[in-house]
Chains A and B, each alone.
Chain A
Amino acid sequence: MGYFYQINFYIFGLLAIASALAFVTRKSPVAAALWLVNTMFCLSALYIMMDAQFIGAIQVLVYAGAIMVVFLFVVMLLNLGHPSDIADMRGTWGKLIAAGIGVVLLAQILVIQRQRLPRIVPDVEAPRNVITGIAQPLFNEYLLAFEVTSVLLLAAIVGAVLLAKRRG
């Protein structure tokens, strides 16, 4: 457990830092955004290692999924990056590797579907109250912070609309 955990921590931690560095140094906004997605994935892995599976999943869904996709949409609509920069995948090898990874992922999904996966985890009931650990402090200890955050978001939305509307 110990070594495995340590090694994983360093892998994901270093990957997160490297991706964050790549994110701020890329010239093309699309490439930068994709590196940020990678950072989010690494952070999510770190959360999961800390037994915060829910936050890890939310991290992927909200940040890597929703927010970054919207971000990429905006970037592509504004047409900031040149097509040649956007195309990260160049050459035959890149395509072959991508195809290989795709095949492996597809195979995994099929195997899981057919329940042929050897069980490495003993048959215990999965912890059902993963979210309780977040919900309890959020609505007790940090209730005020939670409510103020919503007011803060309201102010940000009103402000954004107001600034966008005034094209005087």
Chain B
Amino acid sequence: MHYDLALPSGLMAALVPEIIVVSGAMLLLLWAVWRPESDVHQRNVAIGAAGVTLLAAAAVVYYMVSDASSGPGVIAVDRFRWASDLLFLLATLIAIALSSDFSKREGITTAESHVLILLATSGMMLLAAARDLIILFLGIELMSISVYVLAGLYRRSARASEAALKYFLLGAFSTGFLLYGIALVYGAAGSTNFTDIGRVVSERGFGALPMLQIGLALLVVGFAFKIGAAPFHMWTPDVYEGAPTPYTAYMAAGVKAAAFAAFIRVWLEAFPGTIEFGPPYKVLWWLAVATMVIGNVVALAQKNVKRLLAYSSIAHAGYILVGVLVATPLGASAFLFYLVAYTLATMGAFAVVIALEEVGERNQNVQDYAGLWRVRPWLAIAMAVFMLALLGFPIAGGMGFFAKWYILQAALDRSQFYLSVYLVLTSVVSAGYYLSVVMVMFMRPRAEGAPLPSRVPRATGIVIAATAVVLLVFGIFPSPVLRFARDNTITIAPPSAAASPRAGALVPAANSH
């Protein structure tokens, strides 16, 4: 199918998955406020939201299979977009399941939270699609505003309120950077469209446009805030710790993945060639190294599991940045594979945290997991799988190993020797905290008089089991996911093409006809 984005009808047809999510969110909003708040109603709305997510996923799969393509326009219609969408919808589905159980336990009866998750998801899907800086900005805002509210939903605890306020203020601050960067890029290139910006960059040269350079620098700062890359990661641990755990999981997996998907498209389509040489590349290189080092080293000192996972997510942002830096199709497919493994492992780990924390979000210290193997063996095994997957351990860590392996392979393929060394060394450091969680669960005795963990709610249990099994199965047979990642990369031309006046590279291959 070919879509002409210049016509409103073509644009609409190319946006059906997003339209499904947004209109589903609006209908659910009506339904959510129609009846008085109750736990049953909250659960029903959650089921409705899950249904909308599945419907949108079906639409995405249809577009993927029908090999949709488009003419030039404000959004991209390519396989990278559909693959990212599937990833976001998976994260959304898991977050809805977890938050429904969480709300029941904590006595939160607002059904609108599921609507906000859907709205945030529509923002993410727009981010993956955006080929225009305006749409990119609106997508980021739609996603962020919904998530700010979700972070502050649980207002009974002072920490959650602090986290929400911090997230909101710093998020608004980073939005300022992003917006100023967009304005400067527009001023220099005369367009907000990635393809047009890319044309200007390759025709006039990145070095000849100082305003564009400053604009790109500000864009990088804005994105670094959103993905939590050091030194712009300061908000991450506090916010991840204070926010309700299901939404923390959603932030760590979905929000981060969406910001990355948008970042990689901006980087590859709007600034081709700058990836190869020059200061922007070096800046990103140092950003990746600093993120890997700071995330992993500081995580060693963490006692609280949510903070530990927050620093772990910072470290993983560093690894993923390596995939972005290696701007080859191999790097982009390694990036996608990594995101799949990371999403599953992170969501699963947070699901275990939800299952083990009691009302009021207690029991969040690593020490509280001592002797878990004795009382809840399956939970302990699942948590071990997630930890080993995040570490990148072979076999027992499932897909995690291959995820890191492919990133490493892509980096070495471009003879990124030092980057690879940093990646391996910091991964070794990360064993220090991932394995300590495993050790505490299996080797420490249960504390005297520690009560049994309460029963795992059904949806949370399903999420934990499913993510662990999928991680393990695809860890043994990684080829389907690898094929998925390889088929759905953002197609870019070899580096030499960027030097040609009109790099055909700017338009992914699927759109070339």
Contact = CB atoms under 8 A, between A and B. Distances in A.
Interface in B113-147: 113, 115-116, 119-120, 122-123, 126, 132, 134-135, 138-139, 141-142, 145-146
Contacts of B134: 142, 145
B149 A159 contact: yes
Contact of B119 (A142, A154, A165): A154
Contacts of A158: 29, 112, 115-116, 119, 149
B119 A144 contact: no
24 contacts: A142-B134, A143-B8, A143-B11, A144-B15, A144-B75, A145-B135, A151-B142, A152-B123, A152-B145, A156-B145, A158-B112, A159-B116, A159-B145, A159-B148, A159-B149, A162-B112, A162-B116, A162-B149, A162-B153, A163-B149, A163-B152, A163-B153, A163-B155, A165-B110
Contacts of A165: 110
Contact of B155 (A145, A152, A167): A167
B388 to A, nearest CB: 37
Nearest to B164: A163
Q: Which of A143, A148, A162, A163 has the most CB of B within 10 A?
A: A148
B46 interface: no
B93 interface: no
A151 B138 CA distance: 10
Contacts of A151: 22, 119, 122, 142
Nearest to B161: A163
A145 B138 contact: yes
Nearest to A151: B22
Top 9 A-B residue pairs of the complex, sorted by shortest distance between their CB atoms: A159-B149, A148-B138, A155-B119, A145-B134, A152-B142, A168-B156, A155-B146, A155-B145, A166-B155
Interface string A129-145: 00000000000001111
B99 to A, nearest CB: 14
Interface of A: 142-145, 148-149, 151-152, 154-156, 158-160, 162-163, 165-168
The size bracket of the interface on B is 20 to 34
Nearest to B118: A155
B197 interface: no
Contacts of B155: 163, 166-168
B26 interface: yes
A143 B73 CA distance: 12
Contacts of B57: none
B74 interface: yes
Given A151-B142, A154-B26, A162-B112, A145 B74 contact: yes
B146 A159 contact: yes
Nearest to B137: A145
A166 B150 CA distance: 12
A145 B133 CA distance: 10
Interface in B380-418: none
Nearest to A155: B119
Contact of A148 (B113, B139, B145, B152): B139
Q: Which of A155, A163, A167 has the most CB of B within 10 A?
A: A155
Nearest to B139: A148
A154 B26 CA distance: 9
B116 A148 contact: no
Nearest to B74: A144
Interface in B1-30: 8, 11, 15, 22, 26, 29
Nearest to A160: B149
